[in-house]
Amino acid sequence: MNSEEPTPITWIRNNQDKLVKFIQDLVRIPSISGEEGEIQKFIYKKLTELDLKPKLIYPNIEILRKSDDYFETTSFTKYGYKDRPNVAGILKGTGNGRSICLSGHVDVVSPEPVEHWSRNPWSGEIDGDFIYGRGAGDMKAGVASMIFALQALKETKTQLKGDVLIETTIDEEDGGIGGNLYMRLTQPKTDAAIIPEPGGYAISIASAGVMYFRVIVTGVPAHAATAHYGVNAIVKMVPIIEALTSLNIERQSTISYKYAEVDPRMKGKATTLNIGVIKAGDWPSTVPALCILECRIGFPPGETREIVMSQIERTIQNIANKDRWLKDHPPKIEWFGWKARPHEQNPEDPFVQLIDKKIQEFSGIKPIYIGGSSGLDARFFVYNGIPAVSFGPLAEKIHSIDERVSIKSTVKTTEIIIGTIMDWCGVE
């Protein structure tokens, strides 16, 4: 490469309009968890154009069920995996350097209620520095960023020593089982990994353990006029709700995680027990005989699934023993859906320190280290001994109304990814 030829960094800066359009194209393809087929075929075509030798990789449920980290997601129950491929490509190096995987999920959460948005959530509309739309931040801008990082390397004929594997996965918003977990079970192991989740240059090095559970309380139906002959399941659920609320307060006051105070998402709370769904009754004039409560508990590195499950079950059992009906008719507890272990990446790892250096070099910002508040796909890499971090562009209102992502920070994220790849993999 002579001095007049563009470097990968200058190529990105000169072609950021193409990056913006690609983000818009991705946002305009609805890809709610379970419905990722169309966007994955679009990305497959893009990787084919870049000669990255893409493959469509469909999850095999029998392989997944052999993993200790498997759980059945709601999207699998509803859709299966038949029309939901992962996509994987590769930029081959000469074989003399370290390898890296760029991984990003294409599924998004529902934009409902869409009538509350100020614009079409699938429009990819631009206003100033921001691209709007469901998934613009989480994480289609990051997916576009990692693809364009490889396009910049290709366009400038930059020959790397190590291989770069690139993948777009399904299912992350529902647990990542058919996506990143399946890829780690079936794809080649790399020496490091980047997941460009939104974060405004913060480096996420941990994820929370996340589990769902439901509590089922039964009663006795009766006509409301003679309600005293029945047992109201809703009323019997109330002390359980109160006990779980108290448990949440107790846990938040006693459980800490060292990065909680610098992670704005955690607001000083390293754990949260959320009461998310309650189902009961079908008629105002009938005493309800069934009440179902569904909850989500998140817990930081340092706790295990078994510890948390035992604490929840013990809390419910103790409160049930104080009520004559519940003692004789014990609440049923079911663990379903998310059952993820927490993870933590050593921040002193050379790869993490390289990311730190590159963020400062290209953004001028000293990154903070965050994590432990939500489930992340990065955990599957770390479980397999692969150093991995999540970092990416500045995004606002993810999973909320008028989600948006910063164009400038997405360009910077792409530069950081390129710089990291070139240092980590080496350049011939």
Do 278 and 362 belong together in one domain? no
Which are the contacts of 423, defined by CB distance < 8 A and separation ≥ 6?
A: 354, 358
Q: Are 71 and 175 in contact (CB under 8 A)?
A: yes
Tens digit of each residue's pLDDT (9 = 90 or more) over 31-65: 999 999 999 999 999 999 999 999 999 999 999 99
Is 1 domain-assigned?
Answer: no
Segments in 321-370 forming alpha helices (H): 324-328, 350-363
pTM across the whole model: 0.92
Which band of pLDDT confidence, cut at 50, 70 and 90, is reported for residue 374? confident
Separation CA 129–CA 404 (nearest Å) = 10
Residue 12 lies in a domain: yes
The pLDDT tens digits of the residues spanning 64-82 come to: 999 999 999 989 999 999 9
174 and 226 assigned to the same domain: no
Question: 122-152: string of b/e by CB count within 10 Å (b at 16+)?
Answer: bbbbeeeebbbbbbbbbbbbbbbbbbbbbbb
Q: Are residues 278 and 372 in the same domain?
A: no
User: Which tokens hold the place of 385?
Assistant: 């001994």
Dihedrals φ, ψ of 26, to 5°?
Answer: -70, -45
pLDDT at 257: 79
CB-based contact 216:331 (threshold 8 Å):
yes
Structural domain count of the chain: 2
Residue 93 has pLDDT above 90, yes or no: yes
Whether residue 85 is contained in a domain is answered as yes
Q: Is residue 401 part of a domain?
A: yes
| 170 and 226 co-located in one domain | no
Find where tokens 């005293």 sit.
228
Domain ends where: 340, 370, 386? 340
Copy the structure tokens of residue 112: 């409902």
Q: Report the C-alpha gap between 154 and 397 in whole angstroms.
A: 34
